[in-house]
Amino acid sequence: MASGCTDPLVLGIESSCDDTAAAVVRGGREVLSSVVRSQAEEHAVFGGVVPEIAGRSHLRNAVPVLDQALAEAEVGLEDLDAVAVTARPGLIGSLLVGVSLAKSIAWARGLPLVGVHHIEAHAYAATMEHEVSFPAVALVVSGGHTALYRMPDATTLEKLAETRDDAAGEAFDNVSQMLGLGYPGGPAIALLAAEGDRAAVRFPRYRPKDEKPGFSFSGLKTAVLYHLRGQDALAPTPPPEAILDRADVAASFQEAVVDVLVAQTLAAAEREGTESILVGGGVACNARLRERMAAAAAARGSVASFPSPRFCADNAAMIAGLGGALFQAGCPSDLTLDASAR
Q: Which residues bind ligand KG4 (CB under 6 A)?
A: 17, 142-144, 169, 172-173, 184-187, 190, 281-283, 285-286, 313-314
CA atoms within 13 A on the CB side of 73: 28
Q: In this complex, which beta carbon is closest to Zn ion, that of residue 120 or of residue 314?
A: 314
What does the alpha-carbon distance between residue 187 and residue 184 come to, in Å, rounded to a whole number?
7
Q: Which of residues 82-141 bind Zn ion (CB under 5 A)?
A: none
Write down the least CB distance from residue 313 to Zn ion, Å: 7
- What secondary structure letter does DSSP report for 77? G
Write down the least CB distance from residue 333 to ligand KG4, Å: 23
Write down the least CB distance from residue 173 to ligand KG4, Å: 5
User: Do residues 168 and 146 lie in contact, with contact meaning Cβ atoms separated by under 8 Å?
Assistant: yes
Q: In this complex, which beta carbon is closest to Zn ion, that of residue 196 or of residue 280?
A: 280
For 234, other C-beta atoms within 10 Å of its C-beta total 5
Q: In this complex, which beta carbon is closest to ligand KG4, that of residue 149 or of residue 333?
A: 149
* Site membership for Zn ion, residue 20 (CB under 5 A): no
* Site membership for Zn ion, residue 255 (CB under 5 A): no
Q: In this complex, which beta carbon is closest to ligand KG4, that of residue 70 or of residue 294?
A: 294
Write down the least CB distance from residue 186 to ligand KG4, Å: 2
Residue whose C-alpha is closest to residue 338's, from 157, 88, 155, 44:
88
Write down the least CB distance from residue 313 to ligand KG4, Å: 4
Q: For the chain, how far is it from start to end, CA to CA, in angstroms?
A: 31
Write down the least CB distance from residue 311 to Zn ion, Å: 11
Q: What angle do CA 312, 315, 317 make, to 5 degrees?
A: 100
- Alpha helix (H) residue ranges in 146-245: 168-178, 185-193, 218-228
Binds 28: which of Zn ion, ligand KG4, none (CB < 5-8 Å by kind): none
Q: Which of residues 133-152 bind Zn ion (CB under 5 A)?
A: 142
Q: Which of residues 265-324 bind Zn ion (CB under 5 A)?
A: 314
Give the contacts of 210 (CB within 8 A, at least 6 positions apart): none
In three-state secondary structure terms, 69 is helix
Contact residues: Zn ion, CB under 5 A? 142, 314
